[in-house]
Amino acid sequence: MKILQHIGRIFLAFLATVGRLAPFMGSAAVHCVRPPFYPRTVLRHMVEIGYYSLPVVGLTAIFAGMVLALQSYTGFARFSAEGAIANVVVLSITRELGPVLAGLMVAGRIGASLAAEIGTMRVTEQIDALTTLSTNPMKYLVAPRIIAGLVMFPFLVLVADVIGVYGGYLVAVYKLGFNPANYLQRTYEFLQAEDVNSGLVKAAVFGVIVTLMGCYHGYHSKGGAQGVGKATTNAVVSAPILILSFDYILTEMFFAR
């Protein structure tokens, strides 16, 4: 009985969150397209999300590509299919690992900082102050950050794709002794535009998820420093879960036809 009660309570809390999140999303979307815009704020967050995430995304991608080449080599050697390594690497990276790993890594970085920044503004009445100074906080705080996420995540994933494939190439050529020209040719051969594009669409969705979760939890934080801490935790926990579930949904939409 206890467990059922517990599950029921979690389910109700989930519904309540969805009920509050929907109008927040709607309002954010409206403010993203309606002037006034804040280009300087958008730019600042594009640099914050795009440029400063490059090291962590690059490192994640290169190791992912390297491991992928190594794993598929040892696995495929069992049925003499080593030649397929290049395909496995490029398809896994562009379709799946690029967007998901970059999304998860940046979710921690950006989601936490957005939730902490906006949450602090909430509990120190700065968001109320915006309203009294003829400025809509959804437009001034939330919309620019979501736009920056929407634009910069695909850029990051494109970088991750290139670096990830390069990681696989390094291992294949220098450790496993593949012919470089041959490997690159097999990489291009099977790659289709849709593989890369689907990854970029995923990235854009993940960018919205991460920034939205950071802003939403920060915006609704209450009760001082502890409340801001809780908002930060909620943002970095909810974003990866949403990323992985939307990853499945989007993959199903793209490839399961």
Stretch that binds other proteins, among 100-108, 129-137, 203-211, 234-242 (CB under 8 A): 129-137
The sign of the CA dihedral 98, 104, 108, 112 is: positive
Stretch that binds other proteins, among 68-76, 98-106, 126-134, 201-209 (CB under 8 A): 126-134
Cα–Cα distance list, 89 to 106, 158, 243 (Å)? 22, 15, 22
Closest CA to 186 of 173, 202, 175, 198: 173
Does 128 interact with other proteins (rule: CB under 8 A)?
Answer: yes
Does 129 interact with other proteins (rule: CB under 8 A)?
Answer: yes
DSSP 178-203: --HHHHHHHHHHH--HHHHHHHHHHH
Which member of 74, 131, 185, 245 binds other proteins (CB under 8 A)?
131
Does 4 interact with other proteins (rule: CB under 8 A)?
Answer: no
Does 124 interact with other proteins (rule: CB under 8 A)?
Answer: yes
Question: Number of residues in contact with other proteins, rule: CB under 8 A?
Answer: 11
Minimum CB separation of residue 209 from other proteins in Å reads: 24
List binders of other proteins among 226-245 (CB under 8 A).
Answer: none
Closest CA to 48 of 238, 211, 203, 173: 211
Give the CA radius of gyration of the chain: 21
Binding site for other proteins (CB under 8 A): 121, 124-126, 128-129, 131-135
